[in-house]
Amino acid sequence: MVVDIGGGTTEVAVISLAGIVYSKSVRVGGDKMDEAILQHIKRKYNLLIGIRTAEIIKTTIGNAYPSEQIETIEVKGRDLVTGIPKILTIDSEEIRKAISEQVETIVETVRIALEQTPPELAADIVDKGIVLTGGGSLLKNLDVLLREETKLPITITEDPLSTVVLGSGKALDNLEILKEVAIR
């Protein structure tokens, strides 16, 4: 099972014998998490931040599962009441709660994929585990949360940001195999 968490979507696929047995795509990814952080800060603190700032918050202190150490970050934005720039300190617990809906959607998509997988392949997933890729897989403790929820081994690819591109390049290098696995 491969879970590719990109900017706009999360794709879950079960692959067997060079073919896709099950696939599901949901319109939740890193961009939706950034938007959730932006909206949370806007609602709670009346502070307007940019989408790039929200992404920096997510990649710096964002997490999917509580950890022992709570991290903080200073956020600069514009106060919506006064229009004056303002600095605010927020912590990782607050950000985890802000993106919890998006993270739960990803977990639920994986859970549904496991339920839809044929029993013979489910046994292989128990042995081999789930592979996470895409930029969203770099969210701290997402692997821990999925391991906790599924009780399966979770692996993050060596270079999650480039995995899809590298795989596409390898597929194009061998067009015969690509023809066999292409969706018709």
Q: Where are the domains of the chain?
A: 2-30+100-181, 31-93
Query: What is the spatial distance between Cα 71 and Cα 50, in angstroms, rounded to a whole number?
Result: 21
pTM: 0.91
CATH says 2-30+100-181 is which class?
alpha beta
Give me the tens of pLDDT residue by residue for the chain, a chain 184 residues long.
999 999 999 999 999 887 889 999 999 999 999 999 999 999 999 999 999 999 999 999 999 999 999 999 999 999 999 999 999 999 999 999 999 999 999 999 999 999 999 998 988 999 999 999 999 999 999 999 999 999 999 999 999 999 988 988 888 888 877 777 666 5
Q: What is the DSSP letter of 65?
A: S
Handedness of CA 64, 60, 154, 34 (dihedral sign): positive
Q: Does domain 31-93 have CATH number 3.90.640.10?
A: yes
